[in-house]
Amino acid sequence: MEALKKSTVFKGPQGPVVLVIMDGVGIGKYEEGDFVRAAETPNLDWLIKNGVSTQLQAHGTAVGLPSDEDMGNSEVGHNAIGCGRVFHQGAALVSEAIASGAMFTGQTWKELIGNVKANGSAIHFIGLFSDGNVHSHLDHLKAMLRQAKAEGVKTARIHPLIDGRDVPPTSALEYVEPFEVFLAGLNACGAVDYAIASGGGRMNITMDRYNANWDMVKRGWDTHVKGEGRMFSSMKQAIKTFRDEKPGILDQDLPPFVIERNGKPVGRIVDGDSVVFFNFRGDRALEITKAFEADNLKEFNRGPKLKVKYAGMMQYDGDLGIPRSYLVTPPAINRTMGEYLAASGVHQLAISETQKYGHVTYFFNGNRADKFNEVLEDYVEIKSDVCPFEDAPRMKAVEITDAVVKAIESGKYQFIRLNYPNGDMVGHTGVFSAVKIAVEAVDECLGRLKTAVEKAKGIMVVSADHGNADDMYEHDKTGAVKRGKDGQPQAKTAHSLNPVPAIVYDPSGSSKARLSSAKGLGISSLAGTCLKLLGFVPPADYTPSIVDVG
């Protein structure tokens, strides 16, 4: 890796360039349900008015997703921000591999199918059960089931993780009922037995991330693998029962369930089976993958390692080689901003709390867990609280800010990147009062960072990876708010399709920053922007900076 070329028009500020990622804070389309607009945000408002500001796209094709109907997410968002370019991402890669047939001619698929045919065993599919296209897509699952049948696999079991987060919060039956029809069609010939075996809400079982709550993974393991838990005759019955017992429960929080036949679990996972975790996004796939692959697991009492053929939809961590087998190769992201800065001798700090720590490190670095330079880079994780986010909506914003202010004052770092998770993680809860507090907490911290940057004669770049808190109500096609039977607005817990703010604040004015003439930019432009402000010439193939300098 070659060092970056120094700019001849601006050598960089006296203090650091601080990139602030306000996770889930977008620019709302509708006033009703925009809890960024509803919150008291004097510091963000001031920065937009007095800094150099614009809007950036943070979803769809701007971040490598198949279409502009696809919402952005933190993983692809941080990939784009960190690498300064747009790569085809998970959903698009998987869809292409299925359409071309490459998935089914690859070695991993052949081994999965060959294993169950040789053993007369079952193939299991575990993953997020929706078309949200953020972690998974039901079309991918259906394609694999069709192919398994075509290749003579007699028994398949599906373990759905109910969404309600990347899709409407109580939409589960809209997916279950058509899927049951789909399975009935596969089974109609009488030659195969394909059935739903177990499941539960995505925030209750299996899909923990960043080692925050291994109890979720244990509940998933006990449900999917051991077939332990409350039994029902169908997934539909389970959902309806849980809703009757706890009115207002969101899909993401639904308890685990096991499907039974004649009083016994229909689909325990046993030695000799094949297992596919069909999420393509990595952060919530790593822990369940470890439960299947680790020889000795210390996080919970798993029991002996299963003798199964396990594969992920994609490789979730390229550096650590997790999982060992995967169906679709992830994008090869190289020459990231962090790598360039390390090659150029720049001291860097990456910091967030647990919920987004991996985003400012692993994803920002192009799906790389290791540092590029141990001497020049410091990574700091502030441990997240293990509690519902609506109960502590300020999260660890203050602690993150304390650490960043200290880092700015130290004079050690030329580039600091941080993520405030509040707007996203609390936005996913659908608890409006908590979302407002979350946004206001971030704004308070922006004020403290602004003061520190001013004193250090640095530059602050403020943006987001996608929207969420800016679009908390469901709207119909006319823009009217959808309301429940009680007349209250229906909560929207998914990410928005809205643009995000992008602000450059240079209190000393040394950069002479002004909006560039580039149009239609997305968040991948933030890398080039930061490099320019650091006094470098961005690589020629990076998305153009939002500002000109000098």
pLDDT tens, position by position, 317-327: 765 789 999 99
How confident is residue 538, by pLDDT bands cut at 50, 70 and 90?
Answer: very high
Q: Where in the chain is the domain with CATH 3.40.1450.10?
A: 91-328
pLDDT grade for 393, boundaries at 50, 70 and 90 = very high
Cα torsion 513, 515, 517, 518 to 10°: value is 100
Architecture category of domain 5-88+332-476+483-548 in CATH: 3-Layer(aba) Sandwich (3.40)
What is the arithmetic mean of pLDDT over 73-91? Answer: 92
Does residue 254 register a pLDDT over 90? yes
Nearest 10 degrees: Cα torsion 210, 216, 221, 227:
-160
CATH 3.40.720.10 location in the chain? 5-88+332-476+483-548
With a pLDDT cut of 70, the percent of the chain lying above it is: 100
The mean per-residue pLDDT over the stretch 504-533 comes to 97
pLDDT at 329: 82
* Rounded Cα distance, 496 and 468, in Å: 5
pLDDT in tens, 3-25: 999 999 999 999 999 999 999 99
Contact 464, 423 (CB under 8 A): yes
- Please give the pLDDT value at position 318: 64
**Ramachandran region, residue 200 (left: φ > 0; alpha: ψ -120 to 50; beta: rest):** left
Q: How far apart are CA 454 and CA 409, in angstroms?
A: 11
Measured between alpha carbons, how far is residue 528 from residues 79, 269, 502, 535 in Å? 14, 48, 13, 11
User: Is the confidence at residue 104, as pLDDT, over 70?
Assistant: yes
pLDDT on residue 234:
98
- Average pLDDT of 173-199? 97
Superfamily of domain 91-328: BPG-independent phosphoglycerate mutase, domain B (3.40.1450.10)
- 71 falls in which pLDDT band (50, 70, 90)? confident
pLDDT exceeds cutoff 70 at 214:
yes
Separation of alpha carbons 239 and 257, rounded Å: 9
- pLDDT, one tens digit per residue, over 416-445 is 999 999 999 999 999 999 999 999 999 999
What is the rounded CA–CA span in Å between residue 209 and residue 458?
34
pLDDT of residue 319: 56
Give me the pLDDT at residue 512, please. Answer: 98
- pLDDT at position 526 is 98
Q: Which residues contact 284 (CB under 8 A, 6 or more apart)?
A: 135, 202, 207, 208, 209
Instruction: Give the 3-state secondary structure of residue 110.
Output: helix
Angle, CA 210 vertex, CA 106 and CA 369 arms, to 5°: 60
Give the pLDDT band (50/70/90) at residue 220. Answer: very high
Beta-strand relationship, 198-201 and 257-261: antiparallel
Encoding tokens for residue 157?
């079991």
Q: CA-CA distances (angstroms) from residue 487 to 430, 483, 491?
A: 16, 5, 12
Q: Which among 409, 407, 396 is positioned nearest to 442, based on CA atoms?
A: 396
Here the tokens at position 313 are 């939809």
pLDDT over 60 at 339, yes or no? yes
What pLDDT was estimated at residue 321? 80
Q: Which amino acid is residue 292, in one-letter code?
A: F
Q: How far apart (Å, rounded) are the C-alpha atoms in residues 209 and 368?
A: 16
Question: Average pLDDT, stretch 471-482?
Answer: 92
CB atoms within 10 A of CB 138: 21
Residues 6+ apart with CB under 8 A from 278: 125, 126, 127, 136, 140, 141, 144, 313
Report d(CA 306, CA 293) in Å as an integer: 8
74 belongs to the catalytic site: yes
Dist CA 70 CA 58 (whole Å): 10
Cα separation, 467 vs 472, in Å, equals 10
What are the beta bridge partners of residue 155? 122, 193
Question: Residues 7, 53, 74, 517: which is the catalytic one?
Answer: 74
